[in-house]
Each structure stands twice: as C-alpha cells, then as structure tokens.
Amino acid sequence: MLQVFIKHTSASLTINENADSTVRADFESHINIMVPENAPYYLHDYEGSDDMPAHIKSSLMGASVQIPISNGKLNLGIWQGIYLCEHRNNASGRNLVISYFGV
C-alpha cells in the first residue's frame, strides 16, 4: 500500500480521472463556485481573499490518498491519477510524505 500525505492546510490530494485535461479544468471551476473567494461571512483572511476558501477546499478534498500496490505497481484504475490540488492563488512549495507498507 502506498500512502501520500500533504503537509499543508490549503492544498489537498484526491484521485480522479486523469485521461482528459478538461476534467481537471471542470473540477477547478466547480469547486471555485462551491467555495468562492471574498464571501462576506469569512473571518479568516490574514493571507488574502483565497485564505479561508483554500482551507475549506482542502478539508473537503482531503490530505491523503492510499493506493494499493500489486506486482510492484500502483493499482490505479485505467483512467485514474493522483491530483495535488493547489487552492492558493500564489502558493510557495508543498511538502509530501510518501509511505509504503505491507507485503
């Protein structure tokens, strides 16, 4: 089993279709409508208008993914890929912890 964990609260990891780039574009468009910037009820905006939306998006999508490994290879579905979702407009680097365990 492979586990990938992101050590940040304004980016996330998820698994989704990775064969057609329009899926990623639609995904981003939709989540930006679901969790907009500049909502009048956000109190946490210390780092800009994308600050609180980034935290909400990160919690909705998650901080880790687990992928089975079979015969030494990731056992993802044929169309699947791992997305590192950046929710800040101007993020500086991201750190991942990658762990492998099992037989």
Cα 47–chain centre separation: 19
Mean pLDDT value across the chain: 95
Question: Residues, the chain, total?
Answer: 103
- Convert the pLDDT of each residue in 56-101 to its tens digit: 999 999 999 999 999 999 999 999 999 999 999 998 899 999 999 9
- For the chain, the structural domain boundaries read 2-100
Q: Which CATH architecture has domain 2-100?
A: Sandwich (2.60)
pTM above 0.95, yes or no: no
If one counts every other C-beta atom within 10 angstroms of the C-beta of residue 64, the result is 14
Please determine, for residue 27, whether its predicted confidence score (pLDDT) is greater than 80: yes
Residue 47: how many other CB atoms lie within 10 Å: 12
How much is the pLDDT for 15?
A: 97
Confidence grade of residue 103 (pLDDT, cut at 50, 70, 90)? low
* Phi-psi region at 70: left, alpha or beta (left = phi > 0; alpha = psi -120 to 50): beta
